Structure 1
Amino acid sequence: MSQNVYVVGVGMTPFRKPGSVDAQGDDVDYPQLVREAGRAALADAGVEYAQIEQAIAGYVYGDSTSGQRGLYELGLTGIPISNVNNNCSTGSTALFLGRQLIAGGLADCVLAVGFEKMQKGSLTMAFGDREPPLMRHLAAQAELYEPTTAPYAAQLFGNAGREHMTQYGTTAEQFARIAEKNHRHSANNPYAQFQDVYTLDQILESKMISEPLTKLQCSPTSDGSAAAVLASERFVDQHGLGDRAVRIAAQHMVTDTPATFEDRSAISVVGADMTRLAARKAYDTAGFGPQDVQVVELHDCFSTNELLSYEALGLCGEGEGGSLIDSGATTYGGRWVVNPSGGLISKGHPLGATGLAQCAELTWQLRGQAGPRQVDGVRAALQHNIGLGGAAVVTLYTRA
């Protein structure tokens, strides 16, 4: 029988552009990032590293045991440390595996940490002597849209947006309005890489990357780390952590299905079907749906994907994402607040850390600790994290 799992501590570093230095002018490497986020999560939980029974470390760019090197900054206790890479969903994959350890009765206290030290500029394929993991996705979309010289991720998500525009009449302004919202939200987030507010016109007039995506609608490369301490109900009770515990009500991961490649749809290629299936499973497990949550952190790697995710997560019907953003339903005063952190577009996107940063934000929101970006009356929260290649993780949280 599956056990209840709780988030009892979270922490993260500020997200910064690659190559940033600390106050002394020194380069900040990933061990320092993991130390900062891990110590913050442990302190938030009131737990010593010696009480951690297993740790899961997630990162996309790094050597094979970078997780150990980072976590050794917290202590040398001999515990099992597993390293995971699931592209942009790596952080939530670490969370997923840590939750499984506790839900299955194999541990009572687990640390999940994600981190990234990235290269400047757009993402590129790391190895030129073998087939890229996204080859099938790129080939499937090349049958629909002529490839360009734009960065491959921007092409994939830009073309998905173009398809939505053709099918449903969605406009470039509606996609840009999502970016305007998220940049505005990040102004209240001290952890965000960008805290500048832009007008809709400024977003539309910024450099075109891949139609309809301008620069200010694209998530940046980032350095950073985030972490979460997970615990069983027994551990929470024994250590008096009920006042800080947030329950993981449901969590499901889905990888690509035949629909990704057989639908002949750019929207399917970028994972909308994965998201839809993971969300349905999570809602069924939790016994409640999107109408019951107040705050959402979703994977807005590009503004087009936030709109596609509105529909895949069931915030609105198919083809209605443009109307949803126009209505103001996804910001303060609306039906939900989506990406109060600023999302990936403005908070930043260190790939391995993103899913755990989403977890941190929603934990703070459920505890009422989000400061000036606090959403009123939060009782339940929704997290969505996706990585092409592919995996989508949808998590529902409630107050303990």
Structure 2
Amino acid sequence: MTPPVKRLADWDGDRLERLAEAHGTPLYVMDHDRIRANYARFSEAFDFAHVMYAAKANTGRAVVRTLYDAGADIECAAAGELYRAIEAGVAPEDLQYTAVNPPAGDLDYAVDLWEDTPELTITAGAEMTLDRLEARGFDGRLALRVNPGIGTGHHEKVATGKDAKFGLPYEEVEAVAEAARERFDLVGLHAHVGSGVLSGDLDDHERALQRVADLAERVGDLEFVDLGGGFGVPYRPDEEPLDIEAAAEMVRRVTADLDATVALEPGRYLVADAGALVTRVNTIKETPETRVVGVDAGLTSMIRPAMFDSYHHIRNVTGGDREPVESSVGGPLCTSADVFCTDRPIPRPEADDLLAIGNVGAYGINLASQFHSQPRPGEVAIEGDNERVTRRRETFEDLTRLEDEASGAE
């Protein structure tokens, strides 16, 4: 069994430098052997559950295909994710659609897909969504999303279990379920409590899941109870990884009395530590406050530090044996949010050094943008000794391509 986490120090520095020279920076590198190992570890621990991959963590075609080939079905939170999964070669009957305030076009696409693939399950978290589905002729496999009123995870913005945006109010679910059975084929309940759950969060996570399990027993006659995902990985080098066996034992205990299949949707746990972002130092500036290290990646490449104040370990691949100096690493964008760390000890970076940012396989490339007209990074997959480009780097021409197509420019 592979180690429970791939630390940034475990990446082959010579290989990262070679890939950066060959493909430029900023560059995402995804270790698909690691993705498969993470899935194998998770599915072995949760051998009593139906495991799906939460595609929102990383919808890259190569990533989705690797997990599907490894045995995971795919859970999609938007119609675009359904489309991407199908484009990756996923059979529609192996998809589940979990809608959150779905736009009309999303519901149209999902219902059209269901008409050809009645095995598709659609999850709804609001009574109005049920009405909108019925108006489109949908009467198929339905799951209801529950808001358990308890959220867990690494940041309040991902503690979805207590956010009114997500799911039906706990006290209303039984009545909604009874009425839904007259209109749809009610097959499941769904809940997602939060994201980034580590061993210290398991008690809170258990309380939330217990509420869902208790509710499922009262609703009764269900094919499955989907307890979402949320299992986390350590972002700091001294942080302990999740005890996956303890997490599995907790879920097994909570669901022991359920007469329904337990479903889980890991995302981050499967792909986060399989990704590294390599970036080149272009500017060194000594100031009275700090040592500024400018790099060619920015929040357009990886926004998690700016959005969630997230910690991502940074390694000096080129000069790892130098004495550490407190450094503030930031990108080329005109905002104070465009920083990856502030006053962090890093082996003294110099111009042209290659830095690597760890644990970017989840919510990294998916959240990349063209703010400041920055072309989005490329991506390379590594598998054993093999390497292949799975996402080409955008060019300046790509920045205006949709506008050019709209205006008929050649």
TM-score by length of 2: 0.25
Q: Which has the higher contact order (CA 8 A, sep 6+)?
A: 1
TM-score by length of 1: 0.25
